[in-house]
Amino acid sequence: MNDSADIRFLLTLREGGSLIAAARKLGVSPSAVTQRLQQLEKKLGAQLVNRTSRRLQFTEEGTLLCERGAELIQQFDSLFEDLHMRRGGLIGTLKINAPLGFGRRHLAPAISGFQQQNPDIEVALTLSDKPLTGTMDRFDIVVHIGELPASNLVGYTIAPNARFVCAAPALIKRIGAPDSPDDLSKLPCIVLQENNEDVSLWQFSKGRLRRSVRVPARLSCNDGDVIRQWACEGRGVILRSEWDVADDIAQGRLIRLLPGWKAPDANVMALTHQRAGLPARTRHFMQYLQSRFRPLPPWRR
C-alpha closest to that of 19 among 52, 66, 65, 67: 52
Q: Using one digit for the tens of pLDDT, what is the confidence trace for 92-131? A: 889 999 999 999 999 999 999 999 999 889 999 999 877 6
Give this prediction's pTM: 0.70
Domain architecture of the chain: domains with CATH: 4-71 (1.10.10.10), 89-160+267-300 (3.40.190.10), 163-257 (3.40.190.10)
**Residue with more model confidence, 142 or 67:** 142
**Per-residue pLDDT tens digits for 174-204:** 999 999 999 999 999 999 987 677 889 999 9
